[in-house]
Amino acid sequence: GNSVTQMEGPVTLSEEAFLTINCTYTATGYPSLFWYVQYPGEGLQLLLKATKADDKGSNKGFEATYRKETTSFHLEKGSVQVSDSAVYFCALSDKTSYDKVIFGPGTSLSVIP
Amino acid sequence: DAGVIQSPRHEVTEMGQEVTLRCKPISGHDYLFWYRQTMMRGLELLIYFNNNVPIDDSGMPEDRFSAKMPNASFSTLKIQPSEPRDSAVYFCASSLVGQETQYFGPGTRLLVL
């Protein structure tokens, strides 16, 4: 079945460091891929998405490229801020199943000043 | 626009009591999802509805859990009787058919003593 694997956290970085959170997926067909972010005490919210191979999603300085050949969708940011501290979820949509989204386990990021 | 609304935001109850969680999706959205989030198990999909009809309830942990969606603007998740292992954050999310992005509510933090 479809699944998402993420690098395990927690990840701790200093402010202005480079961020990479790895995500790989297993899916039949051509799913859309997402990164959601959950700030402390809040629900998840969409950070960025990509709907087909080689698409790059971007938002708030974060980027991720849909790599079909490596089944990956790694999240990157060139310079993190304290306000980026959150849990990041990689996800894919199962287009054959009523818009159901499959979430990865989440990666916790802490950015220290 | 109001987002997804959940109530209550916090619930503390004693084992054996009935708990009812409520959700109002974004107006016009076709799908409604109930999730449970714990440290041990991460984010789990419990059940989801399309146009008020339950599509997949395979994630509902046991018969103590039930969910209803009597109309397009309201859903409930009921636990009867509650147990300490039900302590978690319960999220409701909604989406539009074909748009894939899910919009999450702020969650209900449930503690069963």
Closest chain B CA to residue A40 = B106
What percentage of chain B carries pLDDT values higher than 70?
99
A8 confidence band (pLDDT: 50, 70, 90): confident
The dihedrals phi and psi of B60, each to the nearest 5 degrees, come to -65, 125
Reading the block at residue A5, the tokens are: 């694997």
When scoring B102, B103, B108, B109 by the number of chain A Cβ atoms within 10 A, the one with the most, hence best to mutate, is B102
Chain B residues whose C-beta sits inside 8 Å of any chain A C-beta:
4, 31, 42-43, 45, 48, 50, 55-56, 91, 93, 95, 97-107
The reported pLDDT for the residue numbered B2 is 82
DSSP for A7-19, please give it.
--S-EEEETT--E
Burial (CB count within 10 angstroms: exposed 0-12, middle 13-18, buried 19+), residue A109: buried
Q: Which residues contact B2 (CB under 8 A, 6 or more apart)?
A: B26, B27
Nearest Cα to Cα of residue A99 among B71, B99, B51: B99
Q: Quote the CA–CA distance of B48 and B24 in Å, as a whole number.
A: 14
Query: What is the tens place of the pLDDT at every residue in A28-43?
Result: 888 999 999 999 999 9
| pLDDT in the model for residue A62 | 98
Which pLDDT belongs to residue B11?
97
Query: Distance between CA A71 and CA A67 in Å, rounded?
Result: 6
Confidence of residue B98 (pLDDT cuts 50, 70, 90): confident
Residue A68 pLDDT more than 70? yes
Amino acid at B60: M
The whole-number pLDDT of residue A97 equals 66
Q: Could you tell me how many residues make up chain A?
A: 113
Collapse the DSSP code of B86 into the 3-class scheme (helix H, G, I; strand E, B; otherwise coil) and give the result: helix
- With 90 as the cut, is the pLDDT of residue A45 above it? yes
- C-alpha distances (whole Å) from A106 to each of A99, B45, B64 are 20, 14, 28
Nearest to B45 by CA among A21, A2, A29: A2
Q: Do B100 and A89 touch (CB under 8 A)?
A: no
Strand, coil or helix: A1: coil
- Give pLDDT, residue A98: 61
Which runs of consecutive H residues, i.e. helices, occur in A1-113? none
Residue B1 has what pLDDT? Answer: 65
CB atoms within 10 A of CB A99: 23
Which pLDDT tens digit goes with each residue over B8-55?
999 999 999 999 999 999 999 999 999 999 988 889 999 999 999 999
pLDDT the model gives residue A112? 96
A73-109: pLDDT as tens digits = 999 999 999 999 999 999 998 766 667 889 999 999 9
Distance from CA of B78 to the nearest CA of A (A): 20
Per-residue pLDDT at B24: 98
Per-residue pLDDT, A57: 97
